[in-house]
Structure 1
Amino acid sequence: MNCHCGNTKTYQECCEIFHRNNGKTETAEQLMRSRYSAFVLADGDYLMATHHSSTRPTKEKKAIVKWAKSVQWIRLEVLETTKGTENDTEGTVTFNAYFFENGNVDVIHEKSAFVKENEQWFYFGLSN
């Protein structure tokens, strides 16, 4: 079975590696994909650990996990990646995350900003 993030690798060969190493990814897109998988698995600890400390919604962790468990995740579609490579310190990833909630298919469309600090990528928030 393919990884939750849409890669053709298995979860064990893909996002589980990042879930186990505290989000040490090489690129911003890898981090974004691993965070999507964490939403599918309702892994609030990983979502908080990979969210930049200056924008981390710690008080909302329980609500985020509850919501992530309440929907059925369908798929992730990466639309565009800007910068975010091993040699960058910032980048953006634009994506659609499809899910089923209350009898309807819905989508989160987001352009996410990522920053790299101390050789580790973090989700910063929405990009302008």
Structure 2
Amino acid sequence: MPTPGTPLPPSLIPDCTKPEAHRAAYRSAKANDAIFVCIARQGSGWKVELDAFSSSGPTIPDEAVAVLQFAVEALVSAGTVTQANIAPDYISIWALKSERQAREIAAAFHAAMQGLRQLYIVLPTPHRRA
């Protein structure tokens, strides 16, 4: 298992199609103070879900959310996904055609959320500037 706070590779993204799997994966993310990520079969397609509320890190800033929003819009425009919801600490993307594609997209967004949050943590705040 990767160190808490590190992005998961596609092969380790949990399949939370069953509600009990979703609950267990979310509890595990909370226990490890990690951003929750999963995939789930939804009808004939797949869904990706990320939730930063499972960890105690800072809220992802609006500037970083704009980057994630751009990526989501590119997926929708390309027809890779049909719908998505994005908020500062939550992303839901659905109607992906395959499990493999869902895993790859989930891993990429998980890495992006982790990285953007880490970058925000190390940036100086306006109060620290001279």
Q: TM-score, normalised by structure 1?
A: 0.29
The structure showing larger relative contact order (alpha-carbon pairs under 8 Å, at least 6 residues apart) is 2
Instruction: Give 1 or 2 for the bigger CA radius of gyration.
Output: 2
Name whichever structure is richer in strand by fraction.
1
